[in-house]
Structure 1
């Protein structure tokens, strides 16, 4: 399955011209490939780091997967640095945040003059509900753009329940 993310309408698209996500369910795991195209050399990509769980990755260029579950949702943050994070929220919108046991494994980046692709394999929660796919893209000038499948509010808010719109086969 391939879907396109769109920039939040309140912000310009920044250095990117498109952002696609390829995904495939593989049993209890999800394979995702985020493909950013455009002036990728004008994006502030995090440098390589140890592939460990790290908080606050969303403060810089980062790709994200949100998965609705019974009574809450999961959030995965995937950095081009190879760092990652997984969180669980229980009880609704931004409630009961804690580290999730789920693990993300990020493959080496695929980089070309006008494209950067990040692939990852994620542990899926059970049951799996609708997905939200998002990205924070930080330009070298410090400005940020916010990409998602849907933007249901006037400000970027990836946790908004109406941004979880994709059914995973």
Structure 2
């Protein structure tokens, strides 16, 4: 299991975020642990439609996983909401196509998404994605990120930020490899 302390784009000491990822065959388990002692984060309301898909989750507090492929331009973006809704998008290359919302990806399966007292946990199956593109788990790399709507404005967290503006699509910041 690997863990990362996600960094705020701009200095923001009020919230701390740690993420961990583990892999077993084609299954990845990702946990996000949030420390928000002043309770600044504005969490989305839970929905009665658990594990349903919804667009525009990034407009509220949410967690994101990016799946890149070594030596390839295409990638997947997975949005995970504490409301226990989710979405998966496909891109051919950096932010392309430019559809809003992006084009739905159906080759990532969400097995479990659970809001916990510490944050969020998600279990994803990458089997169809890997099989469709004739990949091994060792061919992919992962970016982990979060957007928090707070009383003090929107905060952007990622493993690292190498762009002048918050940009979770920047593959240089996707540092986890299996």
What TM-score do you get using the length of structure 1 for normalisation?
A: 0.86
Partner in structure 2 of residue 165 of structure 1: 175
Unpaired runs of at least 5, structure 2: none
Partner in structure 2 of residue 25 of structure 1: 23
Are 1:106 and 1:118, in contact at CA under 8 Å, matched by a contact in 2?
A: no
Establish whether residue 80 from structure 1 lines up as the match of residue 86 from structure 2.
no
Partner in structure 1 of residue 116 of structure 2: 110
Number of residues paired by the alignment? 159
Are 2:141 and 2:174, in contact at CA under 8 Å, matched by a contact in 1?
A: yes
Are 1:24 and 1:31, in contact at CA under 8 Å, matched by a contact in 2?
A: yes
Q: C-alpha separation between the residues in 2 aligned to 1:63 and 1:30?
A: 15
Q: C-alpha separation between the residues in 2 aligned to 1:15 and 1:39?
A: 7
CA apart distance, 1:130: 1.7
What TM-score do you get using the length of structure 2 for normalisation?
A: 0.82
- Partner-residue secondary structure (3-state), 2:175: coil
Q: C-alpha separation between the residues in 2 aligned to 1:15 and 1:60?
A: 18
Are 1:60 and 1:137, in contact at CA under 8 Å, matched by a contact in 2?
A: yes
CA apart distance, 1:164: 1.6
Unpaired runs of at least 5, structure 1: none
Are 1:78 and 1:106, in contact at CA under 8 Å, matched by a contact in 2?
A: no
Query: Deviation per CA, 1:100-141, whole angstroms, max 9, x where unpaired?
Result: 112324443221xxxx320011122323422110000111x2
Q: C-alpha separation between the residues in 1 aligned to 2:44 and 2:91?
A: 26
C-alpha RMSD of the superposition:
1.7
Partner in structure 1 of residue 146 of structure 2: 135
Query: Deviation per CA, 1:30-83, whole angstroms, max 9, x where unpaired?
Result: 100000112262210011112211001011110000010233111100000000
Partner in structure 1 of residue 52 of structure 2: 52
Partner in structure 2 of residue 6 of structure 1: 7
Moved over 3 A (4+): 105-108
Q: C-alpha separation between the residues in 2 aligned to 1:87 and 1:148?
A: 19
CA apart distance, 1:14: 6.2
Establish whether residue 151 from structure 1 lines up as the match of residue 172 from structure 2.
no
Are 2:73 and 2:94, in contact at CA under 8 Å, matched by a contact in 1?
A: no
